[in-house]
Structure 1
Amino acid sequence: MPNKNIRYDVIVIGAGAAGMIAAITAAKDGKKVLLLEKLPQIGAKLKATGGGRCNLGNTLSQDEFMSKFGRDGRFMQDALKAFSKDDMQDFFRSIGVETHSPDGFRIFPTSHSSSTILDALQKTMDDLNIEVLTSQRVEEILGHNAEIIGIKTSASTYKSKNIILATGGLGYPMLGAEGDGFELTKPFGHSTTKLYPAMMPLFTKETWVENCRADTIAKTTMKVDMKKHKKLVAYGDLIFTKKGIRGPVVLDFAREITPLIEKYGEVPTLVNLTKGKNEDELLKELKEKQNINTDASIFELVKSILPEALSKELLKLCEIDADKKLKDIDGVKKEKLLKTLAWTPLTINAHDGFKMAMITRGGIKLNEINPKTMQSKLIKGLYFCGEVMNIDGPCGGYNLQWSFSSGYLAGKLLS
Structure 2
Amino acid sequence: MNEENYDLIVVGSGAAGIIAAIIAAREGKKVLLLEKLSKIASKLKATGGGRCNLTNTLSNEDFMARFGRDGRFMQDALNEFDYKKLINFLEEIGIETHAPDGFRVFPTSHSSATIISGLKEEMQRQGITIKCNQKVTRLLATGNHIDGVKTEAETFLSPNIIIATGGLGYPVLGAEGDGYNLASEVGHKITDLSPAMMPLKTKETWVKNCRADTIAKVELRVDIKKHKKLRAIGDLIFTNSGIRGPVVLDFAREVTPLLKKYGEVPLLLNLTKGKNEEQIREHFKKESTKENITTVLELLKTLLPEALSLELCHLAKIEPDTKYKKVEGKKRDKLISLLAWTPLTVTGHDGFKMAMITRGGVSLKEINPKTMQSKIIDGLYFCGEVMNLDGPCGGYNLQWSFASGYLAGKLL
Structure 2 Cα separation of the partners of residues 12 and 107 of structure 1:
27
Q: Does 1:47 align with 2:45?
A: yes
State the partner residue of 1:115. 113
Structure 2 Cα separation of the partners of residues 204 and 51 of structure 1:
25
Check conservation: 1:374, 1:409, Cα contact below 8 A. yes
State the partner residue of 1:130. 128
Check conservation: 2:293, 2:299, Cα contact below 8 A. no
Could you give the per-residue CA deviations for residues 381-409 of structure 1, whole angstroms, max 9, x where no partner exists? 10000000000000111000000000001
Match of 2:396 among 378, 394, 398: 398
Check conservation: 2:4, 2:155, Cα contact below 8 A. no
Structure 1 Cα separation of the partners of residues 282 and 290 of structure 2:
13
Pairs within 5 Å for 1:169-184: 169-184=167-182
State the partner residue of 1:60. 58
SS at match of 1:412: helix
State the partner residue of 1:276. 274
Amino acid at match of 1:350: G
Match of 1:345 among 343, 359, 384: 343
Structure 1 Cα separation of the partners of residues 172 and 292 of structure 2:
57
Could you give the per-residue CA deviations for residues 55-98 of structure 1, whole angstroms, max 9, x where no partner exists? 11111111110011111011100011111111100000001111
SS at match of 2:130: strand
Check conservation: 2:201, 2:348, Cα contact below 8 A. yes
Structure 2 Cα separation of the partners of residues 359 and 408 of structure 1:
20
Amino acid at match of 1:219: K
Q: Does 1:209 align with 2:207?
A: yes
State the partner residue of 2:34. 36
Deviation at 1:4, TM superposition (A): 4.4
Check conservation: 1:234, 1:253, Cα contact below 8 A. yes
Check conservation: 2:359, 2:388, Cα contact below 8 A. yes
Could you give the per-residue CA deviations for residues 179-207 of structure 1, whole angstroms, max 9, x where no partner exists? 11111122321110011111110000000
Amino acid at match of 2:160: N
Q: How many pairs does the alignment contain?
A: 412
Deviation at 1:47, TM superposition (A): 0.8
Q: Does 1:228 align with 2:226?
A: yes
Match of 2:68 among 60, 70, 85: 70
State the partner residue of 2:16. 18
Amino acid at match of 1:348: V
Deviation at 1:294, TM superposition (A): 5.8
Deviation at 1:413, TM superposition (A): 3.6
Amino acid at match of 2:141: G
**TM-score, normalised by the number of residues in structure 2:** 0.98
Pairs within 5 Å for 1:13-412: 13-293=11-291, 296-412=294-410
SS at match of 2:251: helix
Check conservation: 1:4, 1:159, Cα contact below 8 A. no
Check conservation: 2:12, 2:35, Cα contact below 8 A. yes
Could you give the per-residue CA deviations for residues 354-397 of structure 1, whole angstroms, max 9, x where no partner exists? 11111111000001000000000001110000000000000111
Check conservation: 1:146, 1:380, Cα contact below 8 A. yes
SS at match of 2:233: strand
Structure 1 Cα separation of the partners of residues 184 and 106 of structure 2:
37
Deviation at 1:50, TM superposition (A): 1.0
Structure 2 Cα separation of the partners of residues 315 and 66 of structure 1:
42
Amino acid at match of 2:51: R
SS at match of 1:143: strand
SS at match of 1:186: helix
Deviation at 1:279, TM superposition (A): 1.2
> Structure 2: any 5+ residue segments left out of the alignment?
none
Check conservation: 2:217, 2:234, Cα contact below 8 A. yes
Structure 2 Cα separation of the partners of residues 376 and 398 of structure 1:
23
CA RMSD of aligned residues (A): 1.1
Amino acid at match of 1:205: K
Structure 1 Cα separation of the partners of residues 3 and 351 of structure 2:
41
SS at match of 1:152: strand
SS at match of 1:322: coil
Structure 1 Cα separation of the partners of residues 292 and 391 of structure 2:
49
**TM-score, normalised by the number of residues in structure 1:** 0.98
Structure 1 Cα separation of the partners of residues 195 and 410 of structure 2:
31
Check conservation: 2:214, 2:235, Cα contact below 8 A. yes
Could you give the per-residue CA deviations for residues 230-269 of structure 1, whole angstroms, max 9, x where no partner exists? 1000111000110000011101111110111111111111
Amino acid at match of 1:95: I
Check conservation: 2:265, 2:347, Cα contact below 8 A. yes
Structure 2 Cα separation of the partners of residues 149 and 315 of structure 1:
67
Structure 1 Cα separation of the partners of residues 86 and 274 of structure 2:
36
Structure 2 Cα separation of the partners of residues 296 and 36 of structure 1:
67
* Structure 1 residues 75 and 295, CA gap change in structure 2 (3 angstroms): closer
Structure 1 Cα separation of the partners of residues 161 and 218 of structure 2:
44
Structure 2 Cα separation of the partners of residues 89 and 4 of structure 1:
40
Structure 2 Cα separation of the partners of residues 186 and 302 of structure 1:
55
SS at match of 2:201: strand
Check conservation: 1:193, 1:390, Cα contact below 8 A. yes
Structure 1 Cα separation of the partners of residues 267 and 298 of structure 2:
27
Check conservation: 2:235, 2:246, Cα contact below 8 A. yes
Check conservation: 1:220, 1:276, Cα contact below 8 A. yes
Check conservation: 2:287, 2:293, Cα contact below 8 A. no
Amino acid at match of 2:43: K
